[in-house]
């Protein structure tokens, strides 16, 4: 077994004897026109994408979008109704058996009556390339919890144990479902620091999250699903640009003149927030919006025009998809 905590973090994995250059895949995972139906309901409908070595990919979508079903098929827990799912050029189940995939599922059950050390020890022993137990505990920041029974852990502590189980061995792909749910800010930052080291070492990270700021800050690529369909695939910057939105903020003060009640009728406006004297606008046409502001006799102070964040872009793209489906 590898005994260095740094090996778990991934910093010494490149060029290690564990993998030869010929073993490194050019395509880690592939969905090819994949569908999954439950009766008359299509949970996934014609989805296609690939994952490549070293990518950190965020998997986004509203509840019921098909993310969990897609992850289940990726892990061989469910078979597609149509299309093909592969890991490392073969079946997902074989990749799991070979220890090439580490998994952290939000709903994954933990044995309640064992200690954290006993649970992590088991995971390290059954992994074909398991790490030393104390190294895994240290990296997951749960060494101080090693002798505690699992049923005595808080929600955030349970998440860190799941993280330890997902990284108990030298895997090529790490799949994370809502990994930081229940973690405080410090634990979340530490978690993503370790995940960045894993990706820097050539591992592929796929994570589903409702924390869009995490996806914006961490992911190389963003996949967006809506009602079973993959509706966007690109960098966070590309997703935000696709939304075609700009954010305008400024201050209005009494005595500036003009009619502030006209703000809600500005052209191009998609969202408006007025808090005291501060106005925040999301718009699909910043030039037209600002021209109308001045025509209304308003005199904005401290004007800032920026691109929208990933959260607003996500809302826009999924709303557009819903409108297209309705038509």
Q: Is the pLDDT of residue 137 over 60?
A: yes
What are the residue boundaries of the structural domains of the chain, listed by start? 5-239, 246-307
Element (H, E) at 33: strand 29-38
The torsion defined by the Cα of 119, 125, 126 and 130, in degrees rounded to 10, comes to 110
Domain 5-239 has CATH 3.40.50.300: yes
- What are residue 184's phi and psi, to 5 degrees? -80, 175
Q: What is the pLDDT at residue 244?
A: 77
Q: What is the pLDDT of residues 53-83, one digit of tens each?
A: 999 999 999 989 999 999 999 999 999 999 9
What does CATH list as the number for 246-307? 3.30.70
**CA–CA gap between residue 226 and residue 178 (Å, rounded):** 17
3-state secondary structure of 128: coil
Task: With beta carbons less than 8 A apart as the criterion, state whether 133 and 163 touch.
Answer: no
Could you give the C-alpha distances from 70 to 177, 318, 319, in angstroms and in order? 11, 18, 21
Place of tokens 């557009």: 320
Binned at pLDDT 50, 70 and 90, residue 12 comes out as very low
3-state secondary structure of 119: helix
Q: What is the pLDDT of residues 218-229, one digit of tens each?
A: 999 999 999 999
Q: What is the pLDDT at residue 142?
A: 94
What average pLDDT does the chain have?
Answer: 87
Q: What is the pLDDT of residues 277-306, one digit of tens each?
A: 899 998 888 899 999 988 888 888 999 988
Q: What is the pLDDT of residues 140-191, one digit of tens each?
A: 989 999 999 999 999 889 999 999 999 999 999 999 998 988 888 888 888 8
Task: Sort strands 101-104 and 246-251 into parallel, antiparallel or unpaired.
Answer: unpaired
- Give the angle 53-204-125 at the CA atoms, nearest 5°: 120
Q: Is 295 exposed, middle or buried (0-12, 13-18, 19+ CB in 10 A)?
A: exposed
Place of tokens 């077994």: 1
Q: Is 100 exposed, middle or buried (0-12, 13-18, 19+ CB in 10 A)?
A: buried
Task: Give the tokens for residue 36.
Answer: 């999954």
Q: Of 241 and 9, which is predicted with more confidence? A: 241
pTM for the full predicted model: 0.79
Task: With beta carbons less than 8 A apart as the criterion, state whether 24 and 53 touch.
Answer: yes
End-to-end CA distance of the chain: 57
Binned at pLDDT 50, 70 and 90, residue 256 comes out as low
**CA–CA gap between residue 251 and residue 82 (Å, rounded):** 54
Task: With beta carbons less than 8 A apart as the criterion, state whether 149 and 175 touch.
Answer: no
Q: What is the pLDDT of residues 271-284, one digit of tens each?
A: 889 888 899 998 88
Q: Is the pLDDT of residue 21 over 50?
A: no
């Amino acid at each position: 077994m590898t005994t260095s905590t740094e090996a778990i973090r991934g910093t010494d994995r490149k060029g290690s004897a564990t993998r030869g250059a010929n073993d490194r895949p050019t395509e880690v995972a592939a969905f090819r026109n994949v569908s999954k139906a439950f009766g008359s309901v299509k949970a996934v409908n014609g989805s296609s994408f690939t994952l490549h070595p070293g990518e950190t990919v965020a998997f986004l979508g509203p509840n019921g979008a098909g993310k969990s079903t897609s992850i289940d098929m990726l892990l061989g827990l469910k078979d597609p109704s149509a299309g093909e799912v592969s890991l490392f050029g073969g079946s997902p189940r074989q990749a799991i058996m070979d220890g090439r995939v580490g998994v952290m599922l939000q709903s994954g059950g933990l044995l309640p009556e064992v200690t954290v050390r006993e649970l992590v020890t088991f995971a390290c022993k059954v992994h074909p390339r398991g790490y030393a137990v104390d190294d895994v505990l240290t990296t997951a920041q749960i060494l101080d919890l090693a002798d505690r029974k699992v049923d005595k852990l808080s929600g955030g502590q349970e998440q860190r144990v799941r993280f330890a189980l997902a990284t108990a061995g030298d895997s090529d792909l790490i799949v994370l479902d809502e990994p930081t749910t229940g973690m405080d800010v410090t634990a979340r930052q530490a978690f993503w620091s370790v995940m960045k080291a894993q990706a820097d070492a050539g591992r592929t990270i796929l994570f589903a999250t409702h924390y869009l700021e995490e996806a914006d800050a961490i992911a190389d690529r963003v996949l967006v699903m809506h009602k079973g369909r993959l509706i966007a695939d690109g960098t966070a910057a590309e997703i935000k640009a696709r939304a075609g939105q700009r954010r305008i903020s400024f201050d209005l003060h009494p005595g500036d003149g003009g009619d502030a009640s006209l703000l809600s009728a500005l052209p191009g406006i998609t969202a408006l927030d007025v808090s005291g004297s501060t106005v925040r606008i999301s718009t699909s046409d910043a030039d037209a919006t600002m021209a109308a502001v001045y025509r209304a006799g308003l005199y904005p102070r401290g004007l800032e025009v920026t691109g929208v964040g990933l959260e607003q872009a996500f809302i826009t793209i999924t709303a557009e998809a819903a409108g297209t489906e309705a038509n």
